[in-house]
Amino acid sequence: MTAKPTGRTIEDFADAYRSGASVVEVIRHTLADLDHAPRGVLIGEPLHERALADAEALDGIDPSGLPLYGVPFVVKDNIDVAGTPTTAGCPGYAYEAADDAVVVALLCAAGAIVVGKTNLDQFATGLVGTRSPYGVPPNAIDPLLVPGGSSSGSAVAVALGLVPFSLGTDTAGSGRVPAALNGIVGVKPTLGRSSTVGIVPAMRRLDCPSVFAHTVTDAAMVADVIGRHDPQDPFTRGPQLPPVFRNAPIVGVPASWPAAVEISDEMQRWYGDAVQRLAELGCEIRAIDIAPLIEVGAKLYGSTLVAERSASVGSAVAAGIPGLNPVVATIITRGSAASAIDAYNAEYELIRLRAAAAPLWDGIDVLALPTTPLVATLQNLLDDPLLWNEKMGVLTTFVNLLDLATIVVPLDDSGRRVPAGLQLIAPAWQDGELARLARSFECGELAPPIQACTLVVVGAHLAGLPLHHQLTDRRATFVGAARTTADYRLYALPDTVPPKPGLLRVEAGTGVEIEVEVWSMGYAEFGSFVDGVPSPLVIGTVELSDGSTYNGFLCEPLAITGAADISDHGGWRPYIASLAAAPA
Catalytic residue among 76, 117, 299, 391: 76
324-352 average pLDDT score:
90
Q: Average per-residue pLDDT in the chain? A: 95
Least confident segment among 19-28, 49-58, 329-338, 555-564: 329-338
pLDDT band at 4 (very low <50, low <70, confident <90, very high): low
**Range in 136-145, 336-345, 451-460 with the lowest mean pLDDT:** 336-345
- Give residue 516's pLDDT band: very low, low, confident or very high (50, 70, 90): very high
Catalytic annotation, pick one of 22, 132, 154, 174 = 174
| CA separation for the pair 170, 158 (Å, rounded) | 17
Whether residue 128 contacts residue 174, with contact meaning beta carbons closer than 8 Å, is answered with no
- SS3 letters across 341-410: HHHHHHHHHHHHHHHHHHHHHHCCCEEEEECCCCCCEHHHHHHCHHHHHHHHHCCCCHHHHCCEEEEEEE
Which of 111, 90, 114 has its CA nearest to residue 100?
114
Per-residue pLDDT band at 34 (split at 50, 70, 90): very high
pLDDT at 305: 85
Where do runs of H (alpha helix) occur along 242-377? 265-281, 291-302, 307-318, 326-335, 340-357
Find the mean pLDDT for residues 420-447: 96
pLDDT at site 535: 93
- List the domains of the chain with CATH numbers: 10-443 (3.90.1300.10), 453-581 (3.10.490.10)
Please give the pLDDT value at position 5.
53
225-231: list long-range contacts, CB under 8 Å, 24+ apart.
Answer: 225/67, 225/68, 225/106, 225/107, 225/110, 226/102, 226/103, 226/106, 226/107, 226/167, 226/194, 226/195, 227/189, 227/193, 227/194, 227/431, 228/102, 228/106, 228/194, 228/195, 230/102, 230/194, 230/195, 230/197
Between the alpha carbon of residue 256 and those of residues 130, 263, 288, 359, 364, the distances in Å are 31, 11, 8, 18, 17
The predicted pLDDT at position 1 comes to 37
User: Which residues have CB under 8 Å from 44's CB, separation 6+?
Assistant: 77, 84, 85, 116, 117
Residue 219: predicted pLDDT: 98
pLDDT score for 6: 46
pLDDT one-digit tens code per residue, 37-79: 999 999 999 999 999 999 999 998 999 999 999 999 999 999 9
Please confirm, yes or no, whether 174 is among the known catalytic residues. yes
* pLDDT tens for each residue of 104-152: 999 999 999 999 999 999 999 999 999 999 999 999 999 999 999 999 9
Q: In what order do the strands lie in the sheet with 501-505?
A: 501-505, 488-492, 564-565
Sequence-ordered list of residues with C-beta below 8 angstroms from that of 59, at least 6 positions apart, any chain? 22, 23, 24
- Render pLDDT for 149-190 as a digit per residue (tens, 0 to 9): 999 999 999 999 999 999 999 999 999 999 999 999 999 999
Q: How many CB atoms lie within 10 A of CB 345?
A: 14
Handedness of CA 320, 324, 330, 336 (dihedral sign): negative
**Is 545 one of the catalytic residues?**
no
Of 175-179, 201-205, 311-315, 396-400, the range with the lowest mean pLDDT is 311-315
Contact present, 551 and 454 (Cβ < 8 Å): yes
Catalytic residue among 22, 132, 150, 195: 150
Contacts of 530 (CB under 8 A, 6+ apart): 539
CA 491 – CA 503 distance, rounded (Å): 7
Mean pLDDT of 404-415: 96
Mean pLDDT of 434-461: 94
**Contact present, 492 and 501 (Cβ < 8 Å):** yes
Neighbours of 109 (CB within 10 A): 12
Average pLDDT value for residue range 319-330 = 94
pLDDT at 308 (0 to 100): 87
Are 128 and 89 spatial neighbours (Cβ–Cβ below 8 Å)?
no
Q: What is the mean pLDDT of residues 341-369?
A: 93
- Find all residues with CB under 8 Å of 178, minimum gap 6, and list them: 129, 147, 148, 149, 150, 151, 152, 154, 155, 156, 168, 186, 212
Query: Which pLDDT score is estimated for 16?
Result: 94
For residue range 270-289, list pLDDT tens digits in order: 999 999 999 999 999 999 99
What CA–CA distance (Å, rounded) separates 448 from 436? 8
Cα–Cα distance measured from residue 147 to residue 156, given in angstroms and rounded to the nearest whole number: 7
What is the arithmetic mean of pLDDT over 343-362?
A: 92
pTM to 2 decimal places: 0.89
Among 396, 326, 381, 323, which Cα is nearest to 119's?
323
CA distance 362 to 350: 20
Count of Cβ atoms closer than 10 Å to residue 478 Cβ: 14
Bigger pLDDT: 6 or 510? 510
